[in-house]
């Protein structure tokens, strides 16, 4: 059955499909004019790459993210019809039959399939802490990667080791990029990763025959090129010095900034605020919880405690103007973060000199921020 037929049988109109293609082009930071090209590539049955999805040290959260909907959305249909030849979570076969299905899919598409890896790979004690079908995750990964066109690591665990690699990392959990060599690797970290980014990545590969540009952590720039903090809908409150001080307080109810509650948005690069989750319905900060930084290397260790304020902010940028005013705050970045919005407000009112004279201290600033 062709993609067009499947979409029709699922009640998806041509118009909705084209709208979806336009949304994918936006996710990929392409002009809308690419939408027809994307539609054509998706509908071209001959050009569909095979996808083999393997899971190791994982909670299946990334599989759930892509399969979650009771009402399948177009992206899921597209991915499903497109190419997924092997995926343990959804396939009917198990045991030897499942292994045979994987071997067949690899053999049939040798050198051409996209290998998707979910979960970390333990290397301590020869990898015995994760075995599938009597062999270690390391061996499964190396073998599958050898025949792949490219390897896509979905979720923070497959990208950087994630939660299994948290201190003291007893199993020696690592990310795909630490195991695989000689093949292009793309990381789609997140906990879970966003299914729309997986679809967009596959679509990019279909349309351009290549993988998208990546950053130094091998993350596609279209999805990880901007700080969460810079696209956050609460940013206006951050700039205005309006912060939540306690869960459930008035500021929280009003949707003010969650920086003081430990939000890691200023240090995290991801497109959560723009594409969101669940059909664009919401994302953690929109739902009232700070970002936990799950798209960054070293998560969770580097982002813990989740409810502790960031001690240091890279790329402080325009905010650094605040340090010129509040000299007492120069050595305390967290404090500067708390006051800079207020200083901006005050500056706008032509009161900077008055503030300088008063040597605004941190407590006073927090009080003013409420």
Largest CA distance in the chain: 77
Q: Which residue is nearest to ligand SF4 (CB)?
A: 265
Return the number of the residue (28 or 300) whose C-beta is nearest ligand SF4: 300
CB count, 10 Å around CB of 200?
28
Q: Of 129 and 238, which has the nearer Cβ to ligand SF4?
A: 238
- Looking only at the bridges linking them, the beta strands covering 148-154 and 113-118 are parallel
**Least CB distance from residue 212 to ligand SF4, whole Å?**
24
The DSSP-derived string for 175-204 is: -GGGT--SS-EEEE-STT--HHHHHHHHHH
Q: How far is the CB of 19 from ligand SF4 (least distance, A)?
A: 28
Q: How far is the CB of 97 from ligand SF4 (least distance, A)?
A: 47
The two tokens of residue 209 are 């025959």
Question: Shortest distance, CB of residue 313 to ligand SF4, whole angstroms?
Answer: 9
Using the 8-state DSSP alphabet, how is residue 105 labeled? Answer: H
Smallest distance, Å, CB 195 to ligand SF4?
A: 22
Give the residue with the Cβ less far from ligand SF4, 122 or 290.
290
Pure H helices in 153-254:
155-160, 195-208, 221-224, 228-231, 235-239, 250-254
State the Cα–Cα distance between residues 42 and 49, nearest whole angstrom: 10
What is the closest distance, in whole angstroms, from the C-beta atom of residue 257 to ligand SF4 in the complex?
3
Contacts with ligand SF4 by CB under 6 A lie at 228-229, 232, 234-235, 238, 257-259, 263, 265-266, 285, 290-291
Cβ-based nearer residue to ligand SF4, 212 or 290: 290
Q: At its nearest, how many Å lie between ligand SF4 and the CB of residue 289?
A: 9
Q: In what order do the strands lie in the sheet with 113-118?
A: 84-87, 51-55, 113-118, 148-154, 185-188
Segment holding 99, helix H or strand E: helix 95-108
CB of 93: closest distance to ligand SF4 in angstroms? 43
Taking the least distance from each CB to ligand SF4, the nearer of 68 and 235 is 235
Closer to ligand SF4 by CB, 73 or 340: give it: 340
Nearer to ligand SF4, 4 or 235 (CB): 235
b/e code 7-31 from CB counts within 10 Å (16+ = b):
beeeebeeeebeebbbbbbbbbebe
Handedness of CA 113, 114, 116, 120 (dihedral sign): positive
Q: Report the residue number, 173 or 263, with the smaller CB distance to ligand SF4.
A: 263
Helix axes 35-43, 195-208, angle to 10 degrees: 90
The residue count of the chain comes to 370
Q: Could you count the other beta carbons within 10 Å of the beta carbon of residue 319?
A: 20
Please identify, using beta-carbon distances, which residue of 218 and 228 lies nearer to ligand SF4: 228
Distance from CA of residue 248 to its chain's centroid? 27
> What's the min distance (Å) between Cβ of 259 and ligand SF4?
4
């Amino acid at each position: 059955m062709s993609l067009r037929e499947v979409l029709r049988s699922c009640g998806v109109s041509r118009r909705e499909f084209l709208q979806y293609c336009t949304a994918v082009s936006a996710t990929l930071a392409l002009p809308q004019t690419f939408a027809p090209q994307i539609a054509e590539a998706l509908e071209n049955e001959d050009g569909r790459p095979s996808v083999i999805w393997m899971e190791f040290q994982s909670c299946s959260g990334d599989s759930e993210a892509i399969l979650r909907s009771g009402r399948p959305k177009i992206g899921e249909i597209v991915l499903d019809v497109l190419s997924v030849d092997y995926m343990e979570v959804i396939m009917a076969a198990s045991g030897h039959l499942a292994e045979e299905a994987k071997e067949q899919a690899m053999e049939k598409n040798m050198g051409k399939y996209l290998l998707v890896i979910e979960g970390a790979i333990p290397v301590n004690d020869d990898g015995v802490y994760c075995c599938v079908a009597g062999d270690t995750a390391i061996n499964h990964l190396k073998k599958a990667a050898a025949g792949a066109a490219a390897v896509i690591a979905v979720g923070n665990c497959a990208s950087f080791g994630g939660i299994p690699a948290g201190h003291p990392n007893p199993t020696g959990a690592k990310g795909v990029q630490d195991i695989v060599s000689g093949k292009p690797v793309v990381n789609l970290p997140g906990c879970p990763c966003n299914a729309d980014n997986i679809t967009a990545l596959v679509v990019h590969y279909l349309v351009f025959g290549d993988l998208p540009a990546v950053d130094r952590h091998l993350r596609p720039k279209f999805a990880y090129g901007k700080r969460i903090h810079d696209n956050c809908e609460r940013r206006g409150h951050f700039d205005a010095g309006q912060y939540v001080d306690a869960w459930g307080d008035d500021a929280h109810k009003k949707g003010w900034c969650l920086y003081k509650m430990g939000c890691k948005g200023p240090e995290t690069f991801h497109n959560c605020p723009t594409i969101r989750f669940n059909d664009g319905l919401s994302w953690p900060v929109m739902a009232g919880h700070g970002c936990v930084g799950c798209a960054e290397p070293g998560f969770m260790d580097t982002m813990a405690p989740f409810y502790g304020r960031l001690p240091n902010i890279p790329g402080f940028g325009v905010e650094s103007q605040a340090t010129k005013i509040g000299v007492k705050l120069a050595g305390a970045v967290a404090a500067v973060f708390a006051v800079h919005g207020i200083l901006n407000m005050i500056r706008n009112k032509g009161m900077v000199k008055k503030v300088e004279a008063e040597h605004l201290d941190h407590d006073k600033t927090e009080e003013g921020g409420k």
